[in-house]
Amino acid sequence: MTREEVRGLIVETLGNIAPEADASTLDPKADIRESLDIDSLDFLNFVIAVHERLRIDIPEVDYPRLFTLDGAIDYLMQKAAPPK
């Protein structure tokens, strides 16, 4: 997947979780929990949705790496890359 595709997937998933917020204009470095006002239940639903779409494991200890859009893209690209 390209960086742009991963970004699109994240934005779409966040849009499903916070439909009244505009996820497409997110500041890539801002904490999405703050900018989209999502609570821990929303965040868990976000992790579940990404987990199901990309079929990758996201351990709980890695959650902080998903707190920003840029961080989430980096993390998911690394996780989704085929093993070398």
Query: Can you tell me which of 27, 48, 53, 70 binds other proteins, judged by CB under 8 A?
Result: 48
Residues 6+ apart with CB under 8 A from 17: 36, 38, 42, 45, 46, 49
> Rounded CA gap, 48 and 16, in Å?
12
The sign one gets for the Cα dihedral 2, 56, 50, 76 is: negative
- Contact between 37 and other proteins per CB under 8 A: yes
- Contact between 16 and other proteins per CB under 8 A: yes
> Rounded CA gap, 71 and 67, in Å?
7
* Identity of the residue, 3 or 34, whose beta carbon is nearer to other proteins in the bound complex: 34
- Contact between 11 and other proteins per CB under 8 A: no
- Contact between 33 and other proteins per CB under 8 A: yes
Instruction: Give the footprint of other proteins on this chain (CB under 8 A).
Output: 15-21, 33-34, 37, 39-42, 44-45, 47-48, 51-52, 57-61
